[in-house]
């Protein structure tokens, strides 16, 4: 599924405006010149397969669980239309770990062209 990056950027902006702490891509060129981290407006976009459907996920910045109000904000975008795509939230996961690894909290979602 080819979806323009702007759809993800706009969805992320809605969530950030609702105080969801998402992970964003960093600007490596800025780092090379200034030796400081500068984040872009492009969220980390992961892809996944959920119950046989192609979907996506966003990650929370840092290794902490979602706060209650963040979860509510994520749920609030379910069925929202962003740039001609309906957002369907699949699941919300807190930080996961095994013996020696941690995975950021994340949430999975689908984008359906309308």
pLDDT in tens, 28-60: 776 677 777 777 889 999 998 988 999 999 999
Please tell me the predicted confidence (pLDDT) of residue 32. 73
Distance from chain centroid for Cα 36: 23
CB 67 within 8 A of CB 22: no
| Low-confidence residues in the chain, pLDDT < 70 | 1, 30-31
Domains of the chain by residue range: 5-113
Report how far apart, in Å, the C-alpha atoms of 100 and of each of 13, 23, 96, 106 are.
33, 22, 11, 19
Please tell me the predicted confidence (pLDDT) of residue 95. 94
Q: Which residues contact 84 (CB under 8 A, 6 or more apart)?
A: 113, 114
Please tell me the predicted confidence (pLDDT) of residue 1. 63
Please tell me the predicted confidence (pLDDT) of residue 69. 97
Please tell me the predicted confidence (pLDDT) of residue 93. 95
- Quote the tokens at residue 17: 């405006």
Residue with tokens 């407006």: 41
Q: What's the pTM?
A: 0.86
Please tell me the predicted confidence (pLDDT) of residue 79. 96
Which residues are 108's β-sheet partners? 57, 91
> Helix, strand, coil: what percent of the chain each, to 5?
25, 40, 35
12's enclosing H/E stretch is helix 5-17
Q: How many CB atoms neighbour CB 35 within 10 A?
A: 7
């Amino acid at each position: 599924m080819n979806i323009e990056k702007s759809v993800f950027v706009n969805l992320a902006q809605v969530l950030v405006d609702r105080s969801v702490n998402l992970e964003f891509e960093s600007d490596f060129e800025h780092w090379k010149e200034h030796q400081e981290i500068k984040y872009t407006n492009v969220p980390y976009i992961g892809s996944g397969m959920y119950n046989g459907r192609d979907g996506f996920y966003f990650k929370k910045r840092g290794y902490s669980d979602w706060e209650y109000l963040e979860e509510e904000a994520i749920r609030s975008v379910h069925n929202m239309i962003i740039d001609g795509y309906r957002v369907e939230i699949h699941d919300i996961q807190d930080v996961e770990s095994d013996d020696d690894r941690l995975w950021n909290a994340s949430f999975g979602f689908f984008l359906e062209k309308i």
